[in-house]
């Protein structure tokens, strides 16, 4: 097993969440409103790909499945880096099997600037940590990254994108990523379920999709209350 950007961010919220993702994903309960936000985020990301004009998208799916073919994406990305493609979207990288796909890389005189797209009204610290993970992987792949930006919703349809420079903060998270990524890698492989007491991490920064699994007593109380009514 490797660690992806999503794995890392979920594992840093709660170790048990990452372990369940790898061993018991059938227990996930994704509320409809959350799925709607995820779908809207994908749509926003698709629109943002063209914010600098023509681009090349690296996404490749496994035959007959809507699952990314990461090996093919990594190879395709390398081809376009060598060609000097101006704008590369979903640029894929792997270091010791740890993986990320950057939303947008835009060529500069010295390398590439990186743009992480978030369907949100403003930049949150979680977004910067997310970009920091990607910078960590790409930097270890020897691709020079200059500036790092977060792209969020702009003020109106005429200006749909707001771009915020988070370079120093995102690059500053590289050591933090390195200090935790290997422990998460080992933890997710262990056969025994990780034991973590429910707490603040169950809802921050996002409500966990395994909330009901980890709070069985609360679910029983709610059911009994409904029966009384």
- Whether the model pTM is above 0.85: yes
Task: State the Cα–Cα distance between residues 115 and 104, nearest whole angstrom.
Answer: 5
**Cis-peptide into 205, omega within 30 deg:** yes
pLDDT at site 37: 85
The torsion region of residue 127 among left (phi > 0), alpha (psi -120 to 50) and beta comes to: alpha
* Mean pLDDT (10-residue bins), the chain, 229 residues: 91 97 95 86 93 97 91 98 98 96 97 97 96 98 98 95 98 97 95 94 93 79 44
pLDDT at site 59: 96
pLDDT at site 225: 40
pLDDT at site 218: 67
């Amino acid at each position: 097993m490797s660690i992806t950007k999503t794995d890392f961010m979920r594992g840093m919220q709660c170790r048990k969440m990452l372990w369940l993702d790898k061993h018991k994903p059938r227990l996930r309960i994704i509320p409809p409103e959350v799925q709607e936000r995820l779908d809207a985020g994908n749509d926003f990301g698709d629109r943002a790909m063209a914010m600098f004009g023509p681009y090349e998208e690296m996404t490749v799916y496994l035959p007959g499945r809507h699952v990314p073919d990461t090996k093919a994406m990594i190879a395709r990305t390398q081809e376009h880096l060598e060609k000097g493609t101006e704008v590369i979207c979903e640029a894929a990288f792997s270091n010791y099997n740890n993986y990320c796909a950057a939303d947008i890389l835009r060529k500069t005189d010295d390398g590439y600037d990186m743009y992480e797209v978030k369907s949100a009204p403003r930049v949150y610290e979680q977004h910067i940590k997310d970009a920091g993970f990607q910078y960590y992987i790409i930097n270890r792949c020897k691709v020079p990254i200059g500036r790092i930006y977060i792209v969020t919703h702009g003020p109106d349809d005429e200006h749909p994108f707001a771009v915020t420079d988070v370079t120093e903060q995102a690059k500053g998270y590289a050591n933090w990523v390195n200090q935790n990524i290997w422990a998460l890698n080992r933890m997710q492989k262990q056969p025994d379920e990780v034991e973590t007491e429910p707490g603040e991490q169950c809802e921050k920064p996002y409500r966990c999709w395994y909330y009901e699994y980890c709070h069985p007593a609360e679910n029983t109380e709610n059911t009994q209350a409904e029966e009384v009514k």
